[in-house]
Amino acid sequence: MREHQYGSRGRGTTVTDDNADVMELQARIAALEAEKERLRLSERAAHELALAKQGEIQIVRSKLDISNRTYEAKLAAMVKQHHDETTRQKLDLEASKRERELLETDNRFIHHDLVQEAERAKRLNGLGKLRTNAASRGTAVGKSRKAGNGMGDGFDEAEVHSISPSRSRDRSQDQTPKVGGKRKRMAPDSPIPLAFSQARQPVVKEDSVQTVVSLDSVLTPPTATARADEKFVYYQMIMNHRPFEGHCRTFEAFAKMIFPSTPDRSLASLFGDQLGVDASPDIEAFAQAIASIMLDFWTSCLKEKHFAPFYLILNLLKFVLKGQRAAITANLIEQALPLCVKSIDLIAVENARNSLYGMSSKSAINTDARAQLVEELVIDEVVDFLHDLCQAASLFPERLRDFWTHLEVSFLLVLLNPAQPIFQVTTMLRMLGSSALDTTFGAIVNDPDKQRSIENGLVAHLTSLLFDTFTPPADEQPYTIEEITELRLEILKLFMIMCEEDHGGRLLAQHRSAIGRLVRFLDGQVSKLYTVTPGIGLEIDAPQRQAHNLIVETVNITTRLLYHLLRTYDGTIDIVQKLRAVLGGYHKFLGSLSRVAFSTQLVFEEGIDDAAADAAHAILDRVLGPDDGEAVMQAVETPRSGSTSVLRRAHERDGSEIV
C-alpha cells in the first residue's frame, strides 16, 4: 500500500516537467512569430519608402521636362519674333531703296530738263548778241562801203569783205586785232567746248543778257562735269585692263582675235560697234552695257566652240562688275546663269561620268583636246563668277528665288560630285547656304512633291559627302587631310545654316539617314583625334597642328548640331530608328557622345569645348535612363570627370541653351 503511494508520486513529477517544456516551446514559438511579424512590417515600410522616393524622382524629372519645354517654347517665340522683326526691317529697307532709286531717277530727269533749258537760254543769248553786233557794225561802216561789191553771208545781211593778200602782208603782225573785225560763231555751231580750249568770257553790258548768264550759272549743276570726268576715267581703266600682270592689255589682245563666224572683224572692232556712243555720264549704265557685250561674246564662244578669248572675256566681265552695285550684277542672272551652267557642264559632266563608269575609249582618244578645253575654259573662274552672282542675288529676295529657280538639281549634284575639284565643291556648298529659305532648300520647282524629293535627295547626297573619297585631277597632288576636313566643315556649316529655318531643320530631323550618318561621322572624327598628333606643347609642323584643330572643330559642330536636332524636334524623332540607318549606330552613338561628354580636354582631346561636352551630356540624359547613365559614366569615368553621374550633372546645370 505504501509502495503504491510512492510510485504514484514519482509519475506525477514526470508529467509536470513535460508540461513545463511544452509551455517553454510555445513561448519561444510565439516570440519567433512576433519577430517575424516585426520584420515583415519593417520590410513593408522600407518598400513603401522606396516607392515614395521613386515617385519623388519621377516628379522632379517631370518638373524638369516641363521647365525645359517651357524654356524652349519661350525661346522659339523669341526666335520667331526676332525673325519677324528682321523680315519687317528688310522689307522697310527694300522699300527705302526703291524710293531712293525713284528719287534718283526723278532727279536725273529734272537735271536733264534743266540742262536743256540752260542750253536753250545760251542759244537765245548768242543770237541776240550777234544781232546787236551786226547792227552796230552796219551803222559804223560808211555808205560807200555799203554800196561796194559785197556778198551777204546769211547773218542779218552782213557782208563778207575780201582782203588783199599784199595788204595783209604789209600790216604789222604785232597789231592788236579789233574785236568787231572778227565774226563770232553762233552757239549752235559749237555747243560743247573742247576740253583743251578755254572759252572766252564775253564782255556783257546789257542787263537782260547779264540776267540770262547768271541764270545759266545757277541752272548748270556743278556735278555734271565731274560725273563726265569720272566716266572718262572709268573708260580709261577699262581700256587699260590686263587679265594679269605681264599680260598685254585686254583690248590689244582683242584686236588680234576673231570669231570664226566673223573672220574679217576683230573682237575689239565688234566691241566698239556694240558699245556705240553714249553721251550719258551714268557710269552704272555704261558698266552694264560693257557687261552685256561680254556676255554676248561668251555666248558666241559657246555657240562656235571657240574658247581662245574666253579667259579675257570672263576676266574683263568680273573687273567691270567688281566696283558696281550688287543690283547691277543681280540683273544679269537671266543672261549669265545659263552661260555659267553650260560652260561648267562641258567639263564637270565628263568628270562625274568618268568617276562612275571609268574613262571611256572616246575620252581616252580625245585626251589632248580635253586638256586644251580645260585650260581654255578656266572652270574655277566660272564657278567663282557664279558665286558672285549668287552673293549679289542674296541681297534681293526676289532675285534670290529667281537664281535658284534657274538652277536645276542635276547641275547641283554634278558639281557636288567627289570627282570635281575641291574648290568647286566648296564653292557650291557656300552657295547652297543661300538656298536655305523659309519654305525651300536647293533648286526651286513649282511641284511640291518634286520639291520635297529634290530636298531629300540633296540632304542624302550632302551627308554621303562626309565619307566620300575625293580624287584630285591627274596633274595635281593628292588632297591633304586639312583640305578634306575643311570641305567637311563646310558641309556641317551648311547644315547649321539650314537649322536657322524651321524648314531646313525639320528636313534634317525627318530624313531617314541624316542623323545616323551624323552620328557615324562624329564617331569617326572622335577616333581620328587620337591618330593625328596634337600641337599642344609639342614641336611639330603647322599642317599637323592645323589638321588636329580642324578635326576638333568638326567634333564640336557635329555634337551641337545633333543636340539642336534632338532637342528642337524631340517629339518627331525616334532616335533608335534613326540609328538603325547605319551599321552599329547605337554603339557609335553611345561611344562617341560619351567620349565627348566625359572628355578631359587635354592632349588629344584638347579643343573640345565645354558647350560641346554639355551638349553631349544633355543628349545622353534624354536617351538613357538613370541606370544606363551610371553604367556609361563608370565605363568612361576619368579623374577629371569625378564620380558625378550623368543625371546629377544634368540637374546641376541651369538649363541654359547650348550654342
Find the DSSP H helices in 2-147.
Answer: 2-140, 143-146
Q: Do 473 and 479 contact (CB within 8 A), yes or no?
A: no
d(CA 236, CA 241): 9
Q: What is the DSSP string of 415-444?
A: HTSTTS-HHHHHHHHHHHHTT--SS--SS-
Q: What is the pLDDT of residue 363?
A: 53
One-letter identity of residue 244:
F
Kindly report, residue by residue over 441-494, the tens digit of the pLDDT. 999 999 999 999 999 999 999 999 999 999 888 778 899 999 999 999 999 999
Angle CA(98)–CA(101)–CA(102) in degrees, nearest 5?
85
> In which residue are the cell numbers 573619297 written?
469
299 phi and psi, to 5 degrees?
Answer: -60, -40
Give the cell for residue 111.
537735271
Distance CA 292, CA 205 (A): 52
Which regions of the chain are under pLDDT 70? Answer: 1-15, 123-229, 277-281, 357-366, 535-545, 625-659
Structural Rg of the chain based on CA atoms = 45
Burial degree of 513 (CB within 10 A; 0-12, 13-18, 19+): middle
Give residue 338's Cα distance to chain centre.
Answer: 20
Please tell me the distance from the alpha carbon of residue 617 to that of residue 641, in angstroms, as a whole number.
12
Residue located via cell numbers 571609268:
358
Residue 602 φ then ψ, to 5°: -130, 150
Listed as own residue / partner, the contacts of 371-379 with beta carbons closer than 8 Å and 24 or more positions apart are 373/307, 373/346, 373/347, 374/347, 376/307, 376/308, 376/310, 376/311, 377/307, 377/310, 377/343, 377/346, 377/347, 378/310, 378/311, 378/314, 379/343, 379/344, 379/347, 379/348, 379/424
Where do the structural domains in the chain lie, given as residue ranges?
39-93, 245-357+366-637
Paired residues of 258 in beta bridges: 266
The residues near 535 (Cβ < 8 Å, ≥ 6 apart) are 544, 545, 548, 549
Joined together, the cell numbers standing for residue 408 give 536645276
- Compute CA distances 115 → 101, 208, 229, whole Å: 21, 20, 17
Using CA atoms, how far apart are residues 555 and 596, in angstroms rounded to an integer? Answer: 8
Task: Count CA within 13 A, CB hemisphere, residue 133.
Answer: 20
What are 251's three cell numbers? 583690248
Q: Rounded CA gap, 146 and 164, in Å?
A: 18
Q: What distances in angstroms separate CA 644 from CA 437, 600, 652, one per listed residue?
A: 43, 14, 10
Per-residue cell: 387: 558665286
Give me the pLDDT at residue 395, please.
93
Q: Cα(455)–Cα(448) distance, rounded to whole angstroms?
A: 11
Taking the alpha carbons at both ends of the chain, their separation in whole angstroms is 113
User: Are the CB atoms for 426 and 491 separated by under 8 Å?
Assistant: no
Q: What pLDDT score does 566 carry?
A: 93
Residue 607's closest CA among 656, 535, 542? 535
Separation between Cα atoms, residue 312 and residue 304, nearest integer Å: 17
Q: Residue 480: left if φ>0, alpha if ψ -120 to 50, beta else—which one? A: beta
